[in-house]
Amino acid sequence: MQFKTVASSPFLPPSNRVSLVMRQVLLALAPGTLAAIWYFGWGVLVNLVLAVVCAVAFEALALKLRGRDPMPYIRDYSAIVTAWLLVLALPQLAPWWIVVSGVFFAIIIAKHLYGGLGYNPFNPAMVAYVSLLISFPAYMTHWVAPAPIAEHSLGLLESIKVIFGGSLVEHDLFDSITMATPLDSIKTGLTQHKTIAEIRSGAVFGVFGGVGWEWVANWYALGGLYLLYKRVISWRIPVALILALGVPAGIFYLSNPDHFASPVFHIFSGGAILGAFFIATDPVSGSATPRGRLIFGAGVGLLTFIIRTWGGYPDAIAFSVLLMNMATPLIDHYTKPRVFGQAGHH
Amino acid sequence: MMLGKFHGGLKLPGHKTLSTLTPIADLPPPARVVLPVRQHIGNAAEVLVSVGEQVRKGQKIAAAAGYVSAPVHASISGVVTAIEDRDVPHPSGLQSLCIEIESDGRDEWTDALPEPWPDYREIPDLELRNRLRESGIVGLGGAAFPTSVKLNPGEKSPIKTVVINGAECEPYITCDDMLMREHAAEIVSGIGVIQHLLRPERVLVGIEDNKPEAIAAMRRAVQEVGEGGIEVVVVPTRYPTGGEKQLIKVLTNQEVPPHALPADIGVTCHNVGTAYAVHEAIVHGRPLIERVVTVTGNGIEHPQNLRVRIGAMFSDLTRHAGGYSDAASYLIMGGPMMGISLRHDQLPVIKATNCLLIAAETEIRPVNDASACIRCGDCVSACPVNLLPQQMYWYARSGDYDKIQEFSLFDCIECGCCSYVCPAHIPLVQYYRHAKNEIWQQEKRARKTDLARQRHEFRQARLERQQREKAEKLAQKRAALKAATGNDEARKKTIEAAMARAEARKRKLAEEKAASAADRDRLSSSDGDSD
C-alpha cells in the first residue's frame, strides 16, 4: 500500500495555535475591560468597537498591498489584540480620529512596514500610543472621572456623539465629566510643593490607587493571573516589572514619604498592571530568553519609576516598553542559556 | 533516590494502551525476508553468501567489516534468491544492498549455532565479547550502535554506572513495555552479562511511571534472578526521558558534555531489548534474528506487539495485525516524535525497527500551515537541551550557518519538542536538519577546495622553481660569456658552436618535414588501396 508522507518528524499534531494564544489574551482582558466600562463609561466600548473594526480593515489592506492572503492573518486575532490594548491606554472619550489614526500607526506603520506579525521590533500599540501622545497632547490628557465621584456621566448615545461629533473640549459638560488622573494629580501637586498626603486627600484617590483606576487594575491583574495559569505568558516579565517598579518606589517612599508616592500606589496606578501582564509581555518585541525576560521586565519597571518620578510625563509604561524593545536584541545576545552538558552553573 | 531533572521536555498524549491490551504475538516465519547488510551505525557488513545458496536460520550471511560494524544472520531457513539494492526504511528513500531469502518452510536452525553458555562466568571476557559481536547485537532502542563496542570501553574510561533504558518515552511505542512485562527475567539475565563484562558499581534501570506492570515485573525479576547492584528506578513520564543523555541526567544527575560519550563520564546506556538480546546470545547461543515491534495507530485494525523475524516485510506485520483500517494515511517507522515517514509498506523490518505507526489523518500534524514566528519562547521552555530554537530557526532561514553554530545547532537531538509546542506550527526540526546537512555539505566542499588549493599551490611552487632554475642557468651562461670577452679566440669558438647548433637544428627540422610528408603520402596511398 502507498502512503502519504511528511518531510520531517515530529508528526504529532501541534499543541497550540497563535489564534488560541491571542483569544486567551482577549479573554484575559475581558474583566478589566468591563471594569473600565463600568467605571469610565460607554466611551471605552464605543472606541473599542471602532478600533477593532479599523484594525481588521487596516490589517486586510496592508496584507492585500503586500500581496498576501489576508484571511489566515486576520483569523489570528493579533490585530484585534493590538487595537484592544491601544484603546485601553487611550483617554476614554478620545475623539474618533485619535482612535483611527492610532490604529493606523499601530497596524500599518509599526507592524506591517516592518514585515507584519513576528517582525515588528517595537510594540505596535505602544508606538501608536506614544505617537498620539506626542502629536496630540491636549486630547491625550482628557481623562473621564471615575463613576463613583463623577458629577455627571454620559450615556451611550451621548458618548457616541462626543466621540464622533467633535471634541470633548467643546462639550458644555467638559469640566463635570473630566478629571486629572491620580498620577497627573501627584505630578501637578508636587510641582505646587504639596506633600503626598495633601495630594492624596483629593477625591480622585482611593484605597491604594485612584478611585476606579485601582479596581480596573485589579481586574487586569486577575486576567494576568489567568494568562500565567494557562502558561500563555511567563511569570518573569510581570514579576520583574512589578518588583523593579515597587522596590525603588519603596526605598524612596521610606526615605521621604512626603515627596514620593508609595510603591502600592505606583503599582496600582496608570498602566503598570496592564503593562506588566499584557503589554511588556508582547512576545514579538520583547526578550525571548528566560534571563533576558527578567532583565527586560526589570528594565521596564525601573524606567517607569524614573520617568514617573523625575521625567516630564505622569506615566511611562509606553516609553519604557519602547526603550526596552530597543535593547531586546542586545539582551537576548547576552542571556543565552547554558546548553545541556556545557560547563557552568547547574 | 534523588532524581535529576533536565530542562524542558513535554507531557505528551501517550496513546500507549492502543497496543498493550494483548500479549506479544508471534508473527509466523515469513515466506521471504529481505536483510539489508547495513542495519547499524558503522560499516556495512560484507556478504558471505551467493545467490542460490542454501542457508539456515541463525547462519551468518554477512560479516562485520571493521570494528564499528555488525554481522547479519539469516532469520529463516531457505535459499538466497537475490543480493541486490532494495528499498529500505531510511529517510533518504535511497536503496541499499540487501540479501533476500526465500523460505523452505522448515525454519531450521543452522548446525553452526554457538553452544549455550548458561555458566558464562567461566568463559573469558574476550570470548564473551566476541560472541556478542558475532551475534550481530546492536542497540535496539533505535540507534542501532554495535553493542560489543559499548561493552568494551577500555582501561581509560572504567564504567561506574550502567543505565538500562526502559523509559520508552515516545507516544504509541510499547515494545519495551511489553517485553519487560513478559520477559523481565531474561532482561535481568542479560543485565547480568553486562555487569559481568563491565563490573560497574551499580546498574540503574529507568522506567517511566506510566508502566506499572513493567515496573512490578522488573522489580520481581531483579529480586529473583538479579546479581545484586541492580536498582529499578521509576522516573516521571516526560518526553524525551528515554533520550540517552536525558535518562542519564535523570538517573545519575550527571550531564554528558556536548560532543562527549556517556563512557567519558563513566556511564553506559543499553536498551532493555538489547539486554534481552544479550541474554539470548550468551545463555542460549542465538544470534539476533528477531525482535518485538509495536504495530499501532488508528490506521490498523488490531494494534498490538509482534515478535517478528528481522527482514520480514512491513506488509506481513500489518496483515497479521488485522490489516489497514479505512483511516490509514501515513506509515511511520519509530514514534511520532522522531520516526520517519515512509511511502510504502514493501520494506523490511531492520534491527532498529521498534514501531510501525499506521496513522490516520487526524493523528498527524497538518502540513504547510506554518505562520510567522511570534517569539513566544515556548520552544525555549520545551527544549531539553536548553537551546534557543527560535534564534536557530531565524539563522537557519537566513542561511547564516556560522551564527547558528554559535547557538549550538549540533547539540540539538531533534526530539521535536520545539515543533510540537510551536503555536505558529513551524516545522523547526526540519530547518535544523536542513542546516546540519548544509553545513556538512559545506565542510565537504571546503575539504575539496582545500585539496584543489593545495594542488594549485604545489603547481605554482613548481613553476616558480623552474623559472628560477632557468634564470640561474641563463645567468651562468652570461657569466661564462662575459668571462670569455676579450678573448677573441674563445668568442669565435662560442659563435661557431652556436652557429653549428643552429645549423643542426635546421637540418633536423628539414628531415622531420620530409619524413612527415612521406608519412602523409603513405597514408593517402593506403587510403587509396582500401577503396
pLDDT, residue B520, reads 60
DSSP string, A195-219: -HHHHHTSTTB-SSSBTTHHHHHHH
Whether the pLDDT of residue A345 is over 60: the answer is no
Is there a contact between A106 and A132 (Cβ–Cβ < 8 Å)? no
pLDDT, residue B383, reads 96
Q: How confident is the model at residue A186 (pLDDT cuts 50, 70, 90)?
A: confident
Whether the pLDDT of residue A65 is over 50: the answer is yes
Cell of B499: 652557429
- Residue-averaged pLDDT of chain B: 91
Distance from the first to the final alpha carbon of chain B: 100
Given strand B161-166, what is the order of strands in its sheet?
B230-235, B202-208, B161-166, B267-271
- Per DSSP, helices labelled H in B226-333 are 244-252, 272-283, 314-320
- Per DSSP, helices labelled H in B365-427 are 378-382, 389-398, 401-406, 417-421
Mean pLDDT of B342-359: 96
Whether the pLDDT of residue B528 is over 50: the answer is no
Q: What angle do CA A217, A221, A224 make, to 5 degrees?
A: 140
pLDDT, residue B2, reads 83
Q: What angle do CA A202, A204, A207 make, to 5 degrees?
A: 90
Biggest CA–CA distance in chain B, Å, is 116
Whether the pLDDT of residue B529 is over 60: the answer is no
Of A314 and B375, the structure prediction assigns the larger pLDDT to B375
Whether the pLDDT of residue B530 is over 50: the answer is no
pLDDT, residue B143, reads 82
Neighbours of A323 (CB within 10 A): 14
**What is d(CA B190, CA B443) in angstroms, rounded to the nearest whole number?**
42
Query: For residue B386, what is the nearest residue in chain A, using CA coordinates?
Result: A339
Q: Which residues pair with B342 in a beta bridge?
A: B331
| Chain-chain contact of B331 with A76 (C-beta, under 8 angstroms) | no
Interface contact B94, partner A, CB < 8 A: no
Whether the pLDDT of residue A170 is over 80: the answer is no
Q: How confident is the model at residue A171 (pLDDT cuts 50, 70, 90)?
A: low
| Chain-chain contact of A1 with B324 (C-beta, under 8 angstroms) | yes
Residue A174 CA from chain centroid, whole number: 26
Q: Which of B329, B365, B386 sits opposite A338 (nearest CB)?
A: B386
pLDDT, residue B522, reads 55
Interface contact A76, partner B, CB < 8 A: yes
| Chain-chain contact of A9 with B339 (C-beta, under 8 angstroms) | yes
Cell of B33: 525476508
Q: What angle do CA A160, A164, A165 make, to 5 degrees?
A: 100
Instruction: Return the half-sphere exposure (C-beta side, CA atoms, 13 A cut-off) of residue B38.
Output: 18
Per-residue pLDDT tens over the stretch B457-469: 888 888 998 999 8
Query: For residue B299, what is the nearest residue in chain A, using CA coordinates?
Result: A3
Q: In 3D, which of A86, A103, A84 has the Cα closest to residue A317?
A: A86
Mean pLDDT of B376-405: 94
Q: Which of A118, A289, A293 sits opposite B374 (nearest CB)?
A: A118
| Chain-chain contact of A12 with B331 (C-beta, under 8 angstroms) | no
Mean pLDDT of A53-77: 92
* Residue B54 backbone phi and psi in degrees, to 5: -80, 130
Whether the pLDDT of residue B531 is over 50: the answer is no
Whether the pLDDT of residue A155 is over 90: the answer is no
| Chain-chain contact of A288 with B391 (C-beta, under 8 angstroms) | yes
Angle of helix A43-65 relative to helix A96-104, nearest 10 degrees, comes to 30
pLDDT, residue B265, reads 93
Residue type at B499 in one-letter notation: M
| Chain-chain contact of A340 with B245 (C-beta, under 8 angstroms) | yes
Q: Is the four-CA dihedral B362, B365, B368, B373 of positive or negative sign?
A: positive
The helix/strand/coil state of B85 is strand
Angle of helix A96-104 relative to helix A78-89, nearest 10 degrees, comes to 140
Q: How far is A176 from chain B (nearest CA, A)?
A: 44
Is there a contact between A7 and B427 (Cβ–Cβ < 8 Å)? yes
Is there a contact between B345 and B318 (Cβ–Cβ < 8 Å)? yes
> A145's torsion region: left (phi>0), alpha (psi -120 to 50) or beta?
beta
Q: In 3D, which of A275, A267, A273, A236 has the Cα closest to residue A250?
A: A267
**What is d(CA B195, CA B227) in angstroms, rounded to the nearest whole number?**
8
Mean pLDDT of B265-274: 95
| Number of CB pairs, chain A paired with chain B, less than 8 A apart | 176
Q: How large a percentage of chain B has pLDDT more than 70?
A: 96
| Chain-chain contact of A12 with B336 (C-beta, under 8 angstroms) | yes
Mean pLDDT of B449-453: 87
| Chain-chain contact of A9 with B390 (C-beta, under 8 angstroms) | no
Q: Which of A10, A284, A340 sits opposite B375 (nearest CB)?
A: A284
Per-residue pLDDT tens over the stretch B160-197: 999 999 999 999 999 999 999 999 999 999 999 999 99
pLDDT, residue B173, reads 97
pLDDT, residue A202, reads 81
Q: How far is A20 from chain B (nearest CA, A)?
A: 8
The H or E element that residue A248 is part of is helix A236-255
- Chain B partners of A286 at a C-beta cutoff of 8 Å? 375
Q: Which residues pair with B100 in a beta bridge?
A: B34, B82
The helix/strand/coil state of B288 is coil
| Chain-chain contact of B359 with A11 (C-beta, under 8 angstroms) | yes
Interface contact B390, partner A, CB < 8 A: yes
Q: What residue has cell string 546540519?
A: B436
Per-residue pLDDT tens over the stretch B75-130: 999 999 999 999 999 888 889 999 999 999 999 999 989 999 999 999 999 999 99
- Residue-averaged pLDDT of chain A: 91
Distance from the first to the final alpha carbon of chain A: 50
**What is d(CA A253, CA A269) in angstroms, rounded to the nearest whole number?**
15
**A98: buried, middle or exposed (CB in 10 Å: 19+, 13-18, 0-12)?**
buried
Q: How confident is the model at residue B31 (pLDDT cuts 50, 70, 90)?
A: very high
Q: How confident is the model at residue B16 (pLDDT cuts 50, 70, 90)?
A: very high
8-state DSSP, A263: H
Q: What residue has cell string 619524413?
A: B515
Cα separation values, B447 from A65, B418, B433, B442, B453, Å: 47, 33, 21, 9, 10
Residue B111 CA from chain centroid, whole number: 32
What proportions of chain A, in percent to the nearest 5, are helix, strand and coil?
A: 65, 0, 35
**Would you tell me which residues 424-483 of chain B have a C-beta closer than 8 angstroms to some C-beta of chain A?**
424-425, 427, 429-430, 433
**What is d(CA B20, CA B178) in angstroms, rounded to the nearest whole number?**
7
Q: How far is B21 from chain A (nearest CA, A)?
A: 22
Per-residue pLDDT tens over the stretch A237-267: 999 999 999 999 999 999 999 899 999 999 9
Query: For residue A286, what is the nearest residue in chain B, using CA coordinates?
Result: B375
CA dihedral A53, A57, A59, A61 (to 10 degrees): -170
- Chain A partners of B373 at a C-beta cutoff of 8 Å? 118
pLDDT, residue B496, reads 83
Cα separation values, B33 from A41, A235, B36, B49, B292, Å: 78, 57, 10, 15, 16
pLDDT, residue B503, reads 86
The H or E element that residue A19 is part of is helix A18-40
Per-residue pLDDT tens over the stretch B45-54: 999 999 999 9
Q: How far is B299 from chain A (nearest CA, A)?
A: 11
Of A40 and B367, the structure prediction assigns the larger pLDDT to A40
Instruction: Return the half-sphere exposure (C-beta side, CA atoms, 13 A cut-off) of residue A135.
Output: 12
pLDDT, residue B405, reads 92
Q: How confident is the model at residue A346 (pLDDT cuts 50, 70, 90)?
A: very low
Task: For B5-19, give one letter per residue: b (16+ CB within 10 A) or e.
Answer: ebbbbbebebbbebb
**What is d(CA A14, CA A25) in angstroms, rounded to the nearest whole number?**
20
- Chain B partners of A119 at a C-beta cutoff of 8 Å? 372
Interface contact B337, partner A, CB < 8 A: yes
**Would you tell me which residues 255-274 of chain B have a C-beta closer than 8 angstroms to some C-beta of chain A?**
255-258, 260
Mean pLDDT of B275-288: 96
Biggest CA–CA distance in chain A, Å, is 86
Interface contact B322, partner A, CB < 8 A: no
Q: How large a percentage of chain A has pLDDT more than 70?
A: 97
Cell of A24: 486567551
Whether the pLDDT of residue B381 is over 70: the answer is yes
Cα separation values, A32 from A130, A219, B339, B430, Å: 22, 5, 46, 41
Neighbours of A101 (CB within 10 A): 16
DSSP β-ladder status, B355-360 and B290-296: parallel
Interface contact B112, partner A, CB < 8 A: no
Q: Which residues pair with B46 in a beta bridge?
A: B63
**What is d(CA B166, CA B208) in angstroms, rounded to the nearest whole number?**
7
pLDDT, residue A168, reads 61
Q: Which of B343, B371, B377 sits opposite A234 (nearest CB)?
A: B377
- Chain A partners of B420 at a C-beta cutoff of 8 Å? 10, 12, 14-15
Is there a contact between B105 and B75 (Cβ–Cβ < 8 Å)? no
Q: How large a percentage of chain B has pLDDT more than 90?
A: 75
Q: What is the pTM of this model?
A: 0.86
Cα separation values, A30 from A144, A224, A274, Å: 20, 11, 12
| Chain-chain contact of A11 with B387 (C-beta, under 8 angstroms) | no
Interface contact A334, partner B, CB < 8 A: no
Per-residue pLDDT tens over the stretch B479-526: 887 776 666 777 777 778 888 888 888 888 887 777 766 666 555 444
